[in-house]
Amino acid sequence: GAVFPSPSEPRVFTIANQKGGVGKTTTTVNVAAALAMGGLNVLVIDNDPQGNASTALGIDHHSGVPSIYDVIIDDVPLGDVIQPCEAVPGLFCAPATIDLSGAEIELVSMVARENRLRNAIRDHVLWREREGLKPFDYVLIDCPPSLGLLTINAFVAAREVLIPIQCEYYALEGLTQLLKNIELIRGHLNPDLHVSTILLTMFDGRTNLAREVAEEVRSHFPDETIESTIPRSVRISEAPSYGQTVLTYDGGSTGALAYREAAQEIAERGALTTTDHQGRGQQN
């Protein structure tokens, strides 16, 4: 297949939306798989105690497996918990186990509690460089739906935010709050953070509503919204129960095609120059 361009330094994304069930995890694993199949070196960090991204990538994440919990709470090097995804060369995962559900509370009393994931990624990038290992081109962090310390760690670790938006009722509800929270993080903890990418998911072109939601999102975020829209597809929803992404489960399906196109667009356009909601320009 086509080879996607490699960025000059690792692009770190947080996949965020404070609503549950909007396609965050599905987008994380499928964009990651498509980027890896495009020839790039990709790491998925499962930062959700539910461990759905680990499951979807077929990664062992039963209790006791070295996981992102050990990295965030016990300073275990990220390299010690990363596992290769068997089905897709170039795709790796730092899994989440059920232990991570305690991390929100344990983090509260820790020093530099918002920076722990960022520091772990930074140390790992430097370690790979020293060891002469192939760098990661992309790091995608899958987040829980809440804005707790785990999500804040992801926002501090990332430079770019990818927001999946479900083309249904109330899609835009909560988005204003999410953008406000991103502004807060940007102001206090991570001046580089910006929404670079919006992906419309679970699109059903037969309904007027889906088309209206899509149009509204595109008119508000013309630069950020990816051209390719992810259709509602049974193949996409079936794949995780086989420990697979849709790209390996049914690579010829419309869902696989859409995620491949979205990933290619993300890779090709690089980080966008965006304007934040107070009118200041933000250059990457």
Smaller CB separation from Mg ion, 24 or 159 = 24
Q: Do the beta carbons of residue 159 and residue 12 sit within 8 Å?
A: yes
Compute how many residues bind ligand ADP; rule: CB under 6 A.
17
Q: Which of 24, 43, 13 is nearest to 154 (CA)?
A: 13
The binder of 23, among Mg ion, ligand ADP, none, by C-beta within 5 to 8 A per type, is ligand ADP
C-alpha 24/C-alpha 3 separation (Å) is 25
C-alpha 260/C-alpha 266 separation (Å) is 10
Smaller CB separation from ligand ADP, 190 or 245 = 245
25 binds ligand ADP (CB under 6 A): yes
24 binds Mg ion (CB under 5 A): yes
Q: Do the beta carbons of residue 117 and residue 45 sit within 8 Å?
A: yes
Residues 177-206 that bind ligand ADP (CB under 6 A): 201-202
C-alpha 140/C-alpha 147 separation (Å) is 17
98's tokens: 């059920």
Residue 61 main-chain phi, psi, to 5 deg: -145, 35
| Contact string 34-73 vs Mg ion (x = CB under 5 A) | ------------------x---------------------
The binder of 107, among Mg ion, ligand ADP, none, by C-beta within 5 to 8 A per type, is none
Smaller CB separation from Mg ion, 31 or 38 = 31
Residue ranges that bind ligand ADP, judged by CB under 6 A: 20-26, 52, 201-202, 230, 232-233, 236-237, 240, 255
